[in-house]
Amino acid sequence: MRKITFIGAGSFGFTRSLVRDVLTFDAFRDVEIRLMDIDSTRLAYSERAVRKIIEKGNYPATVKATLNRAEALEGADGVVITILSGGPDIFRNDIEIPKKYGVDICVGDTRGPSGIFRFLRTAPAMLEICRDIEKYCPDAVVLNYTNPMAMLCRYIQSETKVHMTGLCHSVQGTAQMLAQWIGAPMEEVTYTCAGINHQAFYLEYKWNGRDAYPLIREAVKQPEIYNKEQVRNEMFLGLDYYVTESSGHNSEYNAWFRKRPDLLEKYCTHGTNWNPGKHAFILNEYFEREADGKWMKDIEEWLEKDDFDLARGGEYAACIFNAVFGDHTPYEFNANLRNFGLIDNLPQGCCVEVPALASRAGVRPFRVGSLPDQLAVLINTSARCEELAVEGCMEGDRRKIFHAVLFDPLTSAVLSIAETKQMVDEMFEAGKDYLAYFK
């Protein structure tokens, strides 16, 4: 019997879908699912969902929910981490303090001033979890879904011995989107994608072995397709390669789209699948759902349903577990791992997102070589800011955090050095209850 543990299991959507995927493999039909969270209400909802999935599938699997992390981790073969450090008020500061200074953030969970301070809050909690993994299940395959992905993986992979791989669904999700645009069945598409999390690019995208980029260029000329992803499509037209993460996210990772009201109106308001022009879209939606209890209503509605699907979804996690300690069917995916000889023109040791193979031998990344120069310039800026932020975190050095924010492309397009320093100081003050480890 294999044991798979979910830390942060109160993340209802992720836990529900990943458990469903795990149970589709014959090797895991009798798996022991362990759910752990610090929020007993959310944990109870996830336990009910998992029991419902097990019952509907008539699986011989078992589930155990606990508030005790050691109990959840003891002897686990696989661990999934989906945590959020800090409540809604501190999350609001991540967005609203930069906004006050003119840095208009859309999501704020990955990089830039918001992503960096989210990382600084989350890193100590993530380190505690991974120290427990070293103690209670040192050989476990650890899959992280928590953002900011690159900085957290870089930090944990350098500070601990856990076998952690970072996962993001944007790679396969965007690949499927592009296939739809050109009318290609996904099973006939192959690609090579590399860079850093949320700023990885399809270096090759082929349909039945032939370059499909000419078809993508033709598709993007159609207004109904161009307007679905205005920011990413503009980046594609300018950089010649397609980026993985959504327009909302990518609009805040560079200096091109959010530094002036007219650019926000032109590129970020009317046609991006969801509206990154609306200030703090994700934050506003989150607070609305929290305030009126809609998240609980949505969960209760799902728990009352009998017609949900047990078919495997598109996330990587279950397939990786199956490859390493299930039936050992090899599985290729994109992993977030440190850059030791993987991408030549990105910083050595930074966290990169590259093709990898999961098998009985574990997770092994593939060497990519050099990125096209124009991509390397863009990605190096983000990667080096992330390196500064991680070093600042490990050393408790506020000055390095200031420098990490100072060179963020959107921040530096909007603020002076003095203004950036003032903003960073204010963010430190707002988050001081979580950042006592800084000098």
CB neighbour burial string for 122-158, b if at least 16 within 10 angstroms, e if fewer: bbebbbebbebbeebbeebbbbbbbbbbbbbbbbbbe
Q: Does residue 279 register a pLDDT over 60?
A: no
**pLDDT at residue 344, rounded to an integer:** 98
At CA 17, angle to CA 11 and CA 19, rounded to 5?
Answer: 95
d(CA 191, CA 211): 10
Q: What is the CATH number of the domain that holds 175?
A: 3.90.1820.10
Domain contains 328:
yes
Which residues are CB-contacts of 307 (< 8 A; sequence separation ≥ 6)? none
Burial class (CB in 10 A: 0-12, 13-18, 19+), 170: buried
Which residues are CB-contacts of 304 (< 8 A; sequence separation ≥ 6)? none
Whether residues 131 and 36 share a domain: the answer is yes
d(CA 179, CA 164): 30
Lowest-pLDDT range of 69-73, 278-282, 419-423, 425-429: 278-282
d(CA 388, CA 401): 7
Q: Does residue 420 register a pLDDT over 80?
A: yes
The model's pTM is: 0.94
Lowest-pLDDT range of 296-310, 347-361, 381-395: 296-310
Q: Is 275 annotated as contributing to ligand binding?
A: no
Tell me if 256 sits within 8 A of 285, measured CB to CB: no
Whether residues 214 and 92 share a domain: the answer is no
Q: Is 147 annotated as contributing to ligand binding?
A: yes
Q: Does residue 229 register a pLDDT over 60?
A: yes
Q: Is 193 annotated as contributing to ligand binding?
A: no
Q: Does residue 280 register a pLDDT over 90?
A: no
Whether residues 97 and 32 share a domain: the answer is yes
Tell me if 36 sits within 8 A of 66, measured CB to CB: yes
Domain that holds residue 241: 169-279+319-439
**pLDDT at residue 179, rounded to an integer:** 98
**pLDDT at residue 271, rounded to an integer:** 58
Strands 62-66 and 32-36, by their bridges, are parallel
d(CA 411, CA 103): 6
pLDDT 10s digits, 85-144:
887 778 889 999 999 999 999 889 999 999 999 999 999 999 999 999 999 999 999 999
Q: Is 403 among the residues known to form the active site?
A: no
pLDDT 10s digits, 13-56:
899 999 999 999 999 999 999 999 999 999 999 999 999 999 99
Lowest-pLDDT range of 59-68, 273-282, 296-305, 342-351: 273-282
* Tally of structural domains, the chain: 2
Across the chain, mean pLDDT equals 94
Strands 199-207 and 210-211, by their bridges, are antiparallel
Q: Does residue 168 register a pLDDT over 80?
A: yes
Inter-CA distances, 164 with 55, 204, 275, 306, Å: 31, 27, 33, 36
At CA 203, angle to CA 197 and CA 206, rounded to 5?
Answer: 120
Whether residues 239 and 191 share a domain: the answer is yes
Which residues are CB-contacts of 13 (< 8 A; sequence separation ≥ 6)? none
**pLDDT at residue 87, rounded to an integer:** 73
**pLDDT at residue 288, rounded to an integer:** 64
Domain contains 285:
no
Q: Does residue 281 register a pLDDT over 60?
A: no
Tell me if 403 sits within 8 A of 395, measured CB to CB: no
Q: Which two tokens stand for residue 167?
A: 């996962």
Whether residues 143 and 195 share a domain: the answer is no
Q: Does residue 278 register a pLDDT over 50?
A: no
Q: Which two tokens stand for residue 79?
A: 């661990």
Whether residues 233 and 307 share a domain: the answer is no
What φ, ψ does residue 311 adopt, rounded to 5°? Answer: -70, 150
Q: Does residue 158 register a pLDDT over 90?
A: yes
Whether residues 306 and 417 share a domain: the answer is no
Tell me if 172 sits within 8 A of 405, measured CB to CB: no
Whether residues 176 and 261 share a domain: the answer is yes
Domain contains 387:
yes
Mean pLDDT of 291-304: 80
Domain contains 27:
yes
CB neighbour burial string for 367-401, b if at least 16 within 10 angstroms, e if fewer: ebeebeeebbebbbbbbbbbbbbbbbbeeeeeebb
Whether residues 77 and 184 share a domain: the answer is no
Domain contains 284:
no
**pLDDT at residue 333, rounded to an integer:** 97
Whether residues 205 and 336 share a domain: the answer is yes
Domain contains 23:
yes
pLDDT 10s digits, 390-418:
999 999 999 999 999 999 999 999 999 99
Annotated catalytic residue, options 169, 249, 270, 328: 169
Q: Does residue 276 register a pLDDT over 50?
A: no
Give the model's confidence band at 290: pLDDT under 50 very low, under 70 low, under 90 confident, else very high.
low
Whether residues 214 and 298 share a domain: the answer is no
Report the residue count for the chain: 439
d(CA 309, CA 311): 6
Q: Does residue 354 register a pLDDT over 90?
A: yes
- What percentage of the chain exceeds 70 in pLDDT? 95
Whether residues 250 and 110 share a domain: the answer is no
What's the number of CA atoms in the CB half-sphere (13 Å) around residue 66? 13
Domain contains 182:
yes
**pLDDT at residue 34, rounded to an integer:** 98
Give the model's confidence band at 285: pLDDT under 50 very low, under 70 low, under 90 confident, else very high.
low
d(CA 333, CA 354): 8
pLDDT 10s digits, 299-348:
888 888 888 889 999 899 999 999 999 999 999 999 999 999 999 999 99
Inter-CA distances, 187 with 37, 203, 209, Å: 37, 19, 12
d(CA 69, CA 52): 23
Domain contains 287:
no
**pLDDT at residue 275, rounded to an integer:** 47
Q: Does residue 284 register a pLDDT over 70?
A: no
